[in-house]
Structure 1
Amino acid sequence: MSLLAVGLSHRTTPVALLERVTVSGDALVKLLHDVRQDENVAEALVVSTCNRVEVYAAVDRFHGGVTAVTNLLAVHSGLPTGQLADHLYVHYQERAVQHLFSVACGLDSMVVGEGQILGQIRSALRLAQDEGTAGTILNELAQHALRVGKRAHAETGIDQAGASLVGVGLTLAERVIGPIAGRRALVVGAGSMSSLAAATLSRAGVTDIVIANRTFERAVRLAGIVGGRAVESAAVQAELARADLVISCVGAGHRSITVEMVETAMRGRHDALFLLDLALPHDVDPGVRALPEVTLVDLESMQRSGLGSDDPSEAVTDGGRGRAIGDVRRIIAEEAAAYLDAERASVVTPTVIALRSMAAGVVEAEIGRLMSRLPELDGRVRDEVTQTVRRVVDKLLHEPTVRIKKLAASPGGDQYAEALRELFDLDPAAPEAVSRMEADQ
């Protein structure tokens, strides 16, 4: 079984097209199951965020897996396969591991070093677990990626290598409306990105934060955390007229804020309105840009501004930030090597268990035969003979099993396991091997 990653992100895809591919809710669950049900795929996990859609799969065949995932992404997005394929990247085995670790560390984010991606990977893993599409391979990979991301943030200065998307958006807002401390802000949505936005606004000194959400209870909960007010979604129109700054993070597939809503809100106003749309699909109708005194910044305009550089180091001018990125890359290389070594070594484990199980069977059979021929032996002698024979066999097997595990950790190590199976006519799937393994655990 091999690891495959197929995806597209803000680095390879225009935001307008990425918006059509992004999936969430029931559509995400369906994509997850459709991938898993393909004959080439044994396990599946999908990471879908505002700036990436990536499918990780354990596959039997590389080309069959790539074709299956590409076709399913095309079907779910409604895009021609050829148009979608032009923007896809494909990683296999070592490259797939390294890529997911880079994503978890924030090196592949629109804003380098942002930590929200860890929560998004954790959510993707939890969904795959709940839906039964992630097995041993993807569970271990994703858990390791989360540990790598945490280590990168704990041991390096990557957190300071780039602000969050919200922070960048607020910096742009201040260029338009001036200092945001003491201003009024409207946050549309109450999910993870909205929570981050509300918390950032609160820390920045925004005195009046209004949370609008379809599920009013969630709006109340978030408003209570940041000391704001909660309103129903129907109140967005009225709150637009009072807000200086609007952040929308719904991504429900329809426009939460239309041109007509903003046009109505601006009647009688003489001050500027700044809208930050962090959702995919977009929440705010791009047509609001044509309205006087209205500024809209979304992921696409952030991408055009240079935040989506193909190389994260290009956006870093400070030496300390450059060192942080270098440190994270070294951590990724180290952790990827450790993960791959462990995975290669695990391939030989069933063979080693089968070998020891066979040897134990031979020992027990011969001891039984000996005891039947020498029934006069007392119990102490019987035990001593039994222990001696077992020790001899264990010592004979010790060095070969240690060596095979070390060799298996090297590239092509599975060939040593195959040779061992052939020499001893082993069946790693034999019931006695499985039962012995479970007894030892």
Structure 2
Amino acid sequence: MSLLVVGLSHRTAPVGVLERAALTGDVPTRLLHDAAATATVAEAALLNTCNRIELYADVDKFHAGVAELSLLLAHHSGVDLEELTSHLYVHYEDRAVHHLFSVACGLDSMVVGEGQILGQLRDALARAQEEHTAGRDLNELFQQALRVGKRAHSETGIDKAGQSLVTFGLEQIAAGAGAIAGKRALVVGAGSMSSLAAATLLRSGVSELLIANRTPERAERLVANLGGGNARTVDLAKVPEALADVDLVISCTGAAGVVIRVEDVASAVAARTGDTPLAFLDLAMPRDVDHAVHELPGALLVDLESLSHAHAATPGAGDVDAVSGIVADEVAAFGAAQRAARIAPTVVALRAMASEVVLAELGRLDSRLPDLDERSRAEITQTVRRVVDKLLHAPTVRVKQLAAEPGGASYADALRELFDLDPAAVHAVSGPPVGAQSTAQVGPQANGPQVNGPQAPRPQTPGQARPANGSLTGEAAR
């Protein structure tokens, strides 16, 4: 597998760009299929959250893969390619694995150490499996990333601050609108983030909790999962009216446009008494709450843009270092296993060829000594096979060990060359790549993405991949 990651996140793009690039509705599915259908891609998966959009692909050509995936991200996001690529980053081979494992551990999150990313990774893998764009390689990669993330949370204190994007946002709300306990709250949406928000609000002691969702059944299911109590559903169409009866609104839907309009907020604020502002926590991308609410007297809006400028409580340096060490160890182990697996088909093909040679020679022996008795023939057969097995044992064991080391791919090439192994025989053992493939016409690689990977080839002018500051990073820069 030659893993390539092309994406953008809160670390490389302002919220305004992330909002315009947000993938909603059936766009993620169409993007997945288009990525898997390109000539250079064998498998593809998409990690699509409020803070990041990342395409993971098994590619056979680095430059063409970067160009095709960048073009597809621009096309499906609707953001101009030239603008988008100035915010893109590119990770390749081991650096791509390192990035994914770091993401799984929460090291790359806006709230460092948050655990919700594991659920989002699980969803990304499930979508790719359902759409048949992920095969054996990406399946193993994402499953390992999930294991690494769980290990980081169980073996370190990376999440001891107990923060998530929801709790971080509620801290900002409490700073401007008072304690959460005793407030009447409304949650718009019933997905994973909304479910976390609802559960967090109940733990925080809200006096009443309303749940609104486009699909009423999902809202009812969420209320049931919360145990009922002071939680109940409200029709999504009645949200404008419900605003006047609550103190706090958390919204996180997958809608493509504004869900809560500034005029509805203005009406709700006008109907309120007291000095406490009507508070909104908008965790959607694109935003659910009209940005103009920021300027409305009597209302407090905390959204992803304002959270990006705030400072969340972070784990101790020791915990971050411990997780970084886990990631480094796991990346090395995963790389060694992948490299060892690559040579296995060559070793199997070599042993198959040796077996064919043994059979051919035994057949020749039969033709020359037709009167040889069965006992003697069996003894000769066992002797020949033992000799061949002993001759092959030490070299094949050693070559597997050497192949697991960095640069080990050359040993498979050496075996094929030395023993004149048929490439088709090796391919037959390893099997065809998993995932749909077809040819596709793409434009030249755009300038812009940051390339990061120890094995990433140096992009050539005029399609040189560059980060926003115009320089390459990692070994590709050398």
Matched, 1:245 2:261: no
Q: Cα gap change, 1:432/1:98 in structure 2, threshold over 3 Å: closer, same or farther? A: closer
Paired residues of 1:211 and 1:231 also in contact (CA < 8 A): yes
- 2:436 is aligned to none
Query: 1:296: which partner in 2?
Result: 301
Q: What TM-score do the two structures reach when normalised by structure 1?
A: 0.92
For residue 117 of structure 2, what is the aligned residue in structure 1? Answer: 117
Other-structure match for 1:399: 394
Pick from 279, 283, 286 the counterpart of residue 274 of structure 1: 279
Question: Paired residue for 1:312?
Answer: none
Identity percentage over the alignment? 61
Give the deviation of 1:373 after TM superposition: 4.0
Q: Identify which range, 380-389 or 138-147, moves more after superposition.
A: 380-389
Residue of structure 1 in register with 2:456 after alignment: none
Residues 122 and 146 of structure 1 are in contact (CA less than 8 Å); yes or no, is this contact kept in structure 2? yes
8 Å Cα contact 2:158/2:323 also seen in 1 = yes
Task: Pick from 309, 312, 324 the counterpart of residue 319 of structure 2.
Answer: 324
- 1:350 aligned partner: 345
Amino acid at match of 1:404: V
C-alpha contact 2:349 2:426 (8 A) present in aligned 1: no
Aligned to 1:99: 99
**Is the Cα contact below 8 Å between 2:211 and 2:234 reproduced in 1?**
yes
Q: Which stretch has the larger CA shift, 241-250 or 409-418?
A: 409-418
What is the aligned partner in structure 1 of residue 364 from structure 2?
A: 369
Could you tell me how far apart the structure 1 residues matched to 2:378 and 2:199 are?
Answer: 70
SS of alignment partner, residue 430 of structure 1: helix
Distance 1:2 1:256 in 2: 41
CA distance in 1, matches of 2:12, 2:161: 22
CA distance in 2, matches of 1:435, 1:194: 44
Measured after TM superposition, the shift of residue 418 of structure 1 is: 1.1
Q: Secondary structure of the equivalent of 2:128? A: helix
* Uncovered stretches (5+) of structure 1, i.e. residues with no partner: 308-314, 437-441
Shift of 1:218: 0.4
1:294 and 1:350 map into 2 onto residues whose CA distance is: 64
CA contact (8 A) 2:4 2:59 kept: yes
Instruction: Provide the rounded CA distance (Å) in 1 between the counterparts of 2:338 and 2:423.
Output: 17
Q: Of 405, 416, 421, which residue of structure 2 is paired with 1:421?
A: 416
Residues 279-314 of structure 1 show CA distances to partners (whole Å, capped at 9, x for unaligned) of 00000001112222210000000001245xxxxxxx
Q: Distance in 1 between matches of 2:234 and 2:101?
A: 39
Q: Look up the match of 1:128.
A: 128
**Contact 2:197–2:250 under 8 Å retained in 1:** yes
Counterpart amino acid of 1:386?
T
Q: State the alpha-carbon separation in 2 of the partners of residues 60 and 86 from structure 1.
A: 24
How do residues 304-323 of structure 1 correspond to structure 2 at under 5 angstroms? 304-307=309-312, 316=314, 321-323=316-318
* Alpha-carbon separation, structure 1, partners of 2:173 and 2:147: 35
Partner of 1:147: 147
Distance 2:255 2:248 in 1: 21
Matched, 1:224 2:221: no
Structure 1 contact 161–324 (Cα < 8 Å) conserved: no
**Which residue identity is paired with 1:114?**
E
State the distance in 1 between where 2:284 and 2:76 align. 19
Q: SS where residue 25 of structure 1 aligns?
A: coil
Deviations 1:165-195 (A, max 9, x none): 1001111222223221222110000001000
Residue 389 of structure 2 aligns to a residue whose secondary structure is helix
- Give 3-state SS (helix, strand or coil) of 2:422's partner: coil
For residues 433 and 399 of structure 1, the distance between their equivalents in structure 2, rounded to whole angstroms, comes to 24
Higher helix share: 1
Query: Structure 1 CA distance, aligned partners of 2:370 and 2:364?
Result: 10
Partner of 2:451: none
Residue in structure 1 matched with residue 264 of structure 2 by the alignment = 261
Q: 1:12 to 1:387 in 2, by over 3 A?
A: same
Are positions 1:185 and 2:195 aligned together? Answer: no
The 1:113–1:421 alpha-carbon spacing in structure 2 relative to 1, beyond 3 Å, is same
Q: Which residue of 1 aligns with 2:82?
A: 82
The question of whether the paired residues in 2 share the 8 Å contact of 1:345 and 1:409 is answered with: yes
Does the 8 Å CA contact 2:25/2:254 hold for their aligned counterparts?
no
1:435, distance to aligned residue in structure 2 (A): 10
- Partner Cα separation in structure 2 for residue 268 and residue 354 of structure 1: 78
For 2:11 and 2:20, the matched residues in 1 are separated by 16
| Alignment size in residue pairs | 426
Cα distance in 2 for residues equivalent to 1:417 and 1:291: 66
For structure 2, the 5+ residue unaligned runs are: 432-478
Aligned to 1:148, what secondary structure does the other structure show?
helix
- In the TM superposition, residue 338 of structure 1 has moved relative to its aligned partner by 0.5
The one-letter amino acid of 1:349's match is: A
Structure 2 CA distance for aligned equivalents of residues 202 and 279 of structure 1: 21
Q: By how many angstroms is 1:153 displaced?
A: 0.9
Q: CA deviation at 1:45?
A: 1.0
Q: 8 Å contact 1:101–1:145 — kept in the other structure?
A: yes
